């Protein structure tokens, strides 16, 4: 599962202040009168506690978002690390945890001071000072709160993967029909277009059988270049291949509209096979309704031949996928 998907984000610094002050003023409305000093003490205590709680809530949400990185499955760690380096996460987390300690200390010290007030003016003065100092914490931690918020925005939308159920990763060069296939075989609804680089992130779809749910993963197209030159979009595909598959479905495009020549498509396949050779593969040549080159000639391996457009061989492919992942054969 995506460990961020159920987490709540912190608010922006300005909204935290607004929420805290609104709740503080509301919280003191309900206090019944029981003598001037006692009532003032109670009122100001409630206000300080309320502001403390709101600030704490947002700091803790941010801390939780960043800490979740350390408990996440390596697949999610790799995807997050692409845009949020581990060192930045570590530093932000340390700062935010430090400000929780400051916050606790401020609360304790101001509530203590409230105990010894002699008049209502003094109570108001202490409360004013307390609120000022407590609310300066999110101001000083604005950068870290924002960092956690941005990380959450990216991470909570990553696809939810169940690591206990079978996973098939669809991979291949750009524009070969990967998204068309996942849309055809599973519940996924991924954008398909006649130009390359349509898919820029990982998508998941499901095939429901009577007893199992198989996850199909659509990935961005891979370019013909070595691993160290791959950009963030391609690296998402690489990480899906590295961490997820029980079966890798590698697709080729023999049509005149192919993005790469046959030999280059095969070169990409070989590079992937070299990196992740220990996984079972299923090779698929799509678009046989519009075949222009013989991929198998370069491939020197057997491949499934299908046309998603004309619905040729697709049902047989589905059966093969189910047999391979469910029976391991």
Ligand X SMILES: Nc1nc2c(ncn2[C@@H]2O[C@H](COP(=O)(O)OP(=O)(O)OP(=O)(O)O)[C@@H](O)[C@H]2O)c(=O)[nH]1
**Site residues (vs ligand X, CB under 6 A):** 174-180, 192-194, 196-199, 221, 255, 286-287, 289-290, 307-309
Phi, psi angles (nearest 5°) of residue 196: -75, 165
Q: Which parts of 258-308 fold into alpha helices (H)? A: 262-275, 295-299
Least distance from ligand X to the Cβ atom of residue 235, Å = 15
Least distance from Mg ion to the Cβ atom of residue 235, Å = 16
Least distance from Mg ion to the Cβ atom of residue 2, Å = 21
Pick between residue 130 and residue 185 the one whose CB is nearest to Mg ion. 185
Tally Cβ neighbours within 10 Å of residue 74: 11
CA dist., res. 10 & res. 200, Å (int):
27
CA dist., res. 110 & res. 178, Å (int):
61
Least distance from Mg ion to the Cβ atom of residue 79, Å = 18
Pick between residue 22 and residue 193 the one whose CB is nearest to ligand X. 193
| Residue (of 55, 36, 33) closest to 130 by Cα position | 55
CA dist., res. 231 & res. 234, Å (int):
5
What is the three-class DSSP state of 58? helix
CA dist., res. 314 & res. 310, Å (int):
9
Residue 236 interacts with Mg ion (CB under 5 A)? no
Site residues for Mg ion, 255-294, by CB under 5 A, read none
Residue 179 interacts with Mg ion (CB under 5 A)? yes
CA dist., res. 185 & res. 181, Å (int):
6
Contacted by 177, from ligand X, Mg ion, none: CB < 5 to 8 Å by type = ligand X
| Full strand arrangement of the beta sheet holding 203-208 | 203-208, 213-218, 167-171, 247-252, 281-285, 304-305
Specify whether the CB–CB gap between 58 and 140 falls below 8 A.
no
Contacted by 144, from ligand X, Mg ion, none: CB < 5 to 8 Å by type = none
Site residues for Mg ion, 191-220, by CB under 5 A, read 198-199
Residue number of the CB atom closest to ligand X = 221
The token duo for 25 is 């003023």
Least distance from ligand X to the Cβ atom of residue 195, Å = 7
- Per CB under 5 A, the segment of 64-72, 174-182, 292-300, 314-322 that binds Mg ion is 174-182
Contacted by 176, from ligand X, Mg ion, none: CB < 5 to 8 Å by type = ligand X
Least distance from ligand X to the Cβ atom of residue 299, Å = 18
Interacting residues toward Mg ion by CB under 5 A: 178-179, 198-199
């Amino acid at each position: 599962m995506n460990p961020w998907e159920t987490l709540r984000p912190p608010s922006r610094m300005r909204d935290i202040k607004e929420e805290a002050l609104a709740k503080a003023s509301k919280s003191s409305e309900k206090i019944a009168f029981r003598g001037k000093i006692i009532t003032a003490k109670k009122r100001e205590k409630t206000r300080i506690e309320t502001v403390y709680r709101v600030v704490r809530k947002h700091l803790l949400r941010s801390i939780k978002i960043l800490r979740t990185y350390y408990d996440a499955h390596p697949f999610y760690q790799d995807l997050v690390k692409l845009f949020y380096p581990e060192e930045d996460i570590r530093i932000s987390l340390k700062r935010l945890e430090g400000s929780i300690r400051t916050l606790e200390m401020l609360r304790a010290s101001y509530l203590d001071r409230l105990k010894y007030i002699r008049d209502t003016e003094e109570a108001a003065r202490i409360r004013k000072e307390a609120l000022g100092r407590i609310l300066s914490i999110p101001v000083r931690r604005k950068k870290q709160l924002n960092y956690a918020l941005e990380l959450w925005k990216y991470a909570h939308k990553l696809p939810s993967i169940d690591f206990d159920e079978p996973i098939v990763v669809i991979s291949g060069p750009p524009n070969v029909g990967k998204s068309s296939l996942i849309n055809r075989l599973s519940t996924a609804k991924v954008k398909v277009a006649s130009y390359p680089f349509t898919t820029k992130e990982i998508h998941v779809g499901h095939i429901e059988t009577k007893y199992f749910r198989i996850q199909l993963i659509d990935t961005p197209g891979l370019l013909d270049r070595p691993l160290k030159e791959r950009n963030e979009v391609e690296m998402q595909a690489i990480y899906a291949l590295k961490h997820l598959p029980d079966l890798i479905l590698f697709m080729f495009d023999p049509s005149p509209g192919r993005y790469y020549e046959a030999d280059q498509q095969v070169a990409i396949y070989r590079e992937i096979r070299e990196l992740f050779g220990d996984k079972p593969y299923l090779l698929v040549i799509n678009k046989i309704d519009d075949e222009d080159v013989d991929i198998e000639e370069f491939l020197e391996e057997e491949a499934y031949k299908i046309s998603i457009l004309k619905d040729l061989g697709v049902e047989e492919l589905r059966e093969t996928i189910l047999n391979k992942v469910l029976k391991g054969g």
